[in-house]
Amino acid sequence: MPLTLACNFLPSRTNTNVRYHFRSDTQKSVRDSSRRVRSCTSTTCAFATFDNACAGKFGAVNDSLVLAVVLAEKAVRRTAPSKKERRTNRAQERHTLAWTNASVLRIGLSHAEDRQQQTKDHHSPTATRRQRTEGRIPPNSTKAHFKNPPPRQRLSPQIGVFVWGEFASADDRRNRRLSRSVSGDNNPRGLETVSNDLLQECKVCTEHSRLSKGLRERLEGLPRQIRKEIVKRTRDGCSALFIACRRGNVEITEYLITVCDANSEQKGLYEVSEDRSVHCVTPLWCACVSGKLSVVKSLVRLGSNINALSDTGSTPLRSACFMTHIDIVQYLVENGADIRKPNYNGGTCLINSVQSVQLCSYLISKGADVNARDIQDKTALHYAIQEHRLETAQLLLEHGADPFAKSRYGDDALQTACLKGAHQIFDYLKNRINYSSERLADAHELIGSTFIDDHNETRVAILHWRLAHHIRLRDTTYIQKRPEVAPRPAYGNCVEFSTIAELDNIAADVDAMRIQSLLIYERILGIDHKDTLFRLMFRGASYADSLRFQRCIDLWLLALQVRVQKYSILYSDTCLTAQAIVRLMLDLLDKYVDVMSNEFVEQGMPRFEDVYTVFQVLTANINEARQLLNIRPVHRKQQENFDRILKCLTHLMYLLLSTAKTDEERELVNAAVRTLVRNNIRSAITNDTLLHLSVSRLNVIKSGYFTDDSRSNSLIFPNLNVVKLLLEAGAHVNAKNESKSTPLLVASMPYNYERELVYTLLEYGAHLDQPNRSDDRPVSLLAINPVNDIPLVNYITLKCLCSTVITKFGIPYRNQIPRTLEDFVRWHEP
C-alpha cells in the first residue's frame, strides 16, 4: 500500500515534530493500529517501533509503519510546543511540508540499505513470493523495485528523505533536489556559507559580470525571507548590495533587490581614499561617490531614497558634487534631489562644487543659494578663494555672492584672499570692488606677510609693503596704521615700520621681516585670530629648530596666554600649546644643557620666571574648568585635555623645583602648590589626584611639535621631590581615585616601585591595608616584591587590623561605634 510520510528531525527525540499525510485507503489501518497502541505514550517506544518496522520485525510492514507513526504522534503531542511557539514557527513548518510532500520518512535508513542489499541476492520469483508472504516487502512491489533500489541521499540530519514505493515522477525528483539543496543551506552553517560566497563574488565582480549559476540556484531554492536575511549580512561593515553598488554592477544590484529583497537603505562603511576617513552611508550614496551612473539610475528606479543622509548628514547629491560627477548630479537633480540641503556642518552642494565652474553654473541655474553659510559662517565664495578658484569666484560674484560677508573669524573675501595668498583673486577683487585706501593698504600689508611666512618670498613681501606705504601717502595726510600695537617682549619689543627708510633697513634681515609680519597680523587680524596664533606657534618652532630656544619659549608663552584667556584649558589647541612648551622646557633641562655652550648654561634655561608663568597661566582658572566637566553630557575630548593639563602641572612642579635657586623663588613655588592642593583638583576620567600622578610611571607628556620621539623617553616620574612637595603642601596621602586606589597602592606596583618614595608615603601616614575595588592592598604587593626591604609590620596598627577583619567578615558596625571610627573602617572597605 503506498504510503507517504514527512518528518522534520530535531537534535533530540523529545523535540521531534512529525507531520504525516495518508491516502484514503490507509485511514482504516491507522485507526486499527491506533486502537492497539492507545495506551503507549513513550517516544522511545515509537522510535523502536519504527526501527523494528524498517528492519522487518513486524508481521506487516504497512501496519508497523502506521503503528510507529501513531506512537510518534502520540509522544510528540505530550511534548508539543506551545501555541506561541507554533505560531512563531508556522512559516518554517509550512515550507518543510512543501519540500517533503513527495518524500517518505528517513528512519532506519541503514536497515533499509541492508534490506536492499539482501534483495539483490534474493530477487528470484520464489524468493520474492516468500518475502511477500512473510510480510517483508509491500504486496504491490515488483522485482524491478529491488533490482534498481533508489540511491542513498546525502542529506542534513535535520531534514531527511527516503522514497518508498512507486514515487519516481518528475515532480518527486524535483522536490528531492530542492530538499537536498535546502537541507544543506537552511541551517546556520549552510546559510553562513551562502552568505560568504555571495559576499566574495560581489567583492570580485566587475561592472558587467553576474553571480554564478550555482549561487543563484542556491539562493532561489531558499524561502524569500531567508534570502532577505542572507543579503542583510555584512563583511567589514558592508552588505552584498553595498559592495555591488561600489563595484558598479547593475545586474547584481537589481538581482539582490528584486529577487532577494535586499534593503536598498541598509548602510555600509565607505572609506574615502583621500583622507582615509570612513563614513556610514547608503548604497546610493556609495554609488554616487564612486561615479557609477548606471547603478544610481537602477537604485533610484527601484525606490531608493534620493535624499538619504550619511553619518555626517551628507546627501548623495552633495557627495557627488564633491567628487565632480556632473552626469550623476544632473540625473539626481532631475529626479527630485534637494540641492539646498546641507550636511550637519552646514556645507551645501554649491560649497562642495567650487572646484568646477560648470557644476557651479548648473547648480546656480537650478536655484542654489550663492550666499548660504556653513557653521563657520563661510560661503561658497570663501571656499573658492581658499582653493584659488578664480573662475568660480568670478561666477559667484556675477550671480550675487556677497564679497563683504564675514566668516566666524571676521574674514571677508578680500581678507581671505590675503591670508591664502590668492594673488589673482586679490587683484580681481581690487579692480571689481571699490575699497577704501586704508583697506587696500592693510590688504597689501597682509598679503605681503603671507608671502614671506608661507612661501618665503621676501621680494614679493617687500613689494606689497611698499605699495601699502605709497597708498597711505596717496592722500594729503598720511593714513596711520590702526590700531597701534604696543611693543611686546615676545617680539623683542620691535615696532612696525612707518617709513620707506625703516623698510629698507629690514629688507636684508629675514628674521626682522618675519617679526614685522607678526606685528602686521596682530594689528589687522587681532592677537586672538586663529591665523595669528598659528603663525606664533610656527615661528616659535622655527626658532627651536635653529636652537634659539628662548625666542621660541617667548612666542609660545604668548600664544598660551591668549588661548587660555580666549578659550580655556579644555580647548584642544590650548592643551597642545601647553604640552609643547612644557616638553621643550624639560628637554632644555635634561638634554640640551649638556651640548650647549657655556653662555647658554649660564643663562639658566629654562628660566624660573618662564616656568612659573606657565604654571600660573594653567592654574588661574582650573577650578572653573573642572566644574564645567561636572555638567552632563561631557565631551570626552575635553576630559582628556584636562587630564593632560594635570600631567603638565606635575611636570611643571618638577621644573619649578629644578629651576628655583633662591629662597624667594622656593617660597613662590610652595605658595603656588599649596593653593593648587587646597582646591583638591582631580583628573576627569580616573579621578586621580596630583599625588597619584606623581607616583606613576605612566605620567608622561608628548608634543606634536617635535618629530623626535626619543625626547620623551626619559621618565620624570615617579619623583620623590615632587611627592614631598605635595605632601608638605597638604596633599591627602590616603586619597582614593576612581578605582579606590591610594597613592601608596599605585607606588607599590612593581613598575612604579621606588623604595624611598614608598618609605616617604608610609612616614606621612599612608595605610598599608586599604584595598581598591579589586581588593588589592599595598601590603600584599610589597610583601611579594623581592626588592622591598621596608619592615611593613612597623606600619600596621591594631586599628587597621580590626577594620580589615570587620570589613572582611561583613560585621555590622554603623551606629555601633563612634562616628570618627566609622570613616576609618569605611576606608578599609574594597
Amino acid, res. 680: N
In this predicted structure, what is the pLDDT of residue 819? 81
Write phi, then psi, for 745 (nearest 5 degrees).
-65, -40
Q: Is the pLDDT of residue 273 over 50?
A: yes
> How confident is the model over 530-559, as a mean pLDDT?
95
Work out the average pLDDT over 383-411: 97
644 Cα distance to chain centroid: 22
Nearest-angstrom CA–CA distance, 397 and 535: 30
Instruction: Tell me what the pLDDT averaged over the chain comes to.
Output: 81
Over the stretch 401-447, which tens digit does the pLDDT of each residue have? 999 999 999 999 999 999 999 999 999 999 999 999 999 999 999 99
**How far is it, in rounded angstroms, from Cα 373 to Cα 379?**
5
777 closest CA partner among 787, 785, 767, 786: 767
The answer on pLDDT for 9 being more than 60 is no
Whether the CB-CB separation of 255 and 298 falls below 8 Å is answered with no
Paired residues of 689 in beta bridges: 682
Indicate if the pLDDT at residue 131 is higher than 50: no
Q: Is 824 helix (H, G, I), strand (E, B) or coil?
A: helix
- Cα–Cα distance, 670 to 629 (Å, whole number): 27
**How far, in Å, CA of 376 to CA of 342, rounded?**
13
Is residue 648 within 8 A of residue 578, CB to CB? The reply is yes
Q: How confident is the model at residue 636 (pLDDT cuts 50, 70, 90)?
A: very high
Q: 395: closest CA among 407, 406, 405, 380?
A: 380
pLDDT higher than 50, residue 469? yes
DSSP for residue 19: E
> Is the predicted pLDDT of residue 48 greater than 80, yes or no?
no
pLDDT at 611 over 90: yes
Q: What pLDDT does 85 receive?
A: 59
Structure confidence at residue 143 as a pLDDT band (50, 70, 90): very low
512 burial class (0-12, 13-18, 19+ CB within 10 angstroms)?
middle
DSSP state of 159: B
Q: Are 278 and 270 in contact (CB under 8 A)?
A: yes
Cα dihedral 799→802→808→811 (10° resolution): -120
Would you say residue 133 has pLDDT above 50? no
Nearest by Cα to 426 from 406, 451, 407: 451
More confident position, 8 or 742: 742
Residue 715 confidence (pLDDT): 85
Residue 526 has pLDDT above 50, yes or no: yes
Asked if 612 and 682 touch (Cβ cutoff 8 Å), the reply is no
pTM of the model: 0.73
Residue 58's pLDDT is 40
Strand ranges, E, within 560-708: none
- Res 274: pLDDT: 76
Residue 241, phi-psi category: left (phi > 0), alpha (psi -120 to 50), beta (remainder): alpha
Q: Does residue 758 have a pLDDT over 80? A: yes
Q: Which grid coordinates are listed for 499?
A: 617709513
State how far the Cα of 308 lies from the Cα of 265, in Å rounded to an integer.
8
Indicate the domain borders of the chain.
4-173, 571-732, 740-830
**Is the distance from CB of 252 to CB of 287 less than 8 angstroms?**
no
Q: Name residue 235's beta-bridge partners.
A: 238
Confidence band, pLDDT 50/70/90 cuts, at residue 156: very low
CA–CA distance from 242 to each of 254, 269, 304, 668 (Å)? Answer: 12, 9, 13, 65
Average pLDDT over residues 312-340: 96
Residue type, 577: T
- The model's pLDDT over 472-485, given as tens digits with 9 standing for 90+, comes to 998 778 899 988 88
**24 — pLDDT class (breaks 50, 70, 90):** very low
Least confident of 27-41, 327-341, 355-369, 773-787: 27-41
Q: Is the pLDDT of residue 499 over 70?
A: yes
Average pLDDT over residues 339-368: 96
Q: What pLDDT does 140 receive?
A: 45
Report the percent of the chain where pLDDT is more than 90.
64
Q: Can you tell me the distance from the alpha carbon of 740 to that of 828, in angstroms, rounded to the nearest whole number? A: 10
Do 573 and 563 form a contact (C-beta atoms < 8 A)? yes
CA separation (Å) from 32 to 6, 62, 63, 578?
21, 12, 9, 95
In the predicted structure, residue 302 carries a pLDDT above the cut 50:
yes
Q: What are the residue ranges of helices labelled H in 186-234? A: 188-204, 213-220, 224-232
- pLDDT value of position 393: 97
Q: Give alpha helix (H) positions in 485-621.
A: 500-506, 510-525, 530-545, 549-566, 572-590, 598-603, 608-619
Section 125-141 average pLDDT: 44
pLDDT score at 59: 42
Question: Whole-angstrom Cα distance, residue 817 to residue 801?
Answer: 16
Q: What is the pLDDT of residue 799?
A: 82
pLDDT tens figures, 67-96: 444 444 444 444 455 655 555 566 555 544
What cell was used for 173? 525528483
d(CA 609, CA 656): 9
Q: Give, in order, the Cα–Cα distances in Å from 97 to each of 69, 80, 224.
A: 16, 17, 16
Q: In whole angstroms, give the CA distance from residue 445 to residue 524.
A: 9
Would you give the end-to-end CA distance of the chain in angstroms?
78
pLDDT at 5: 36
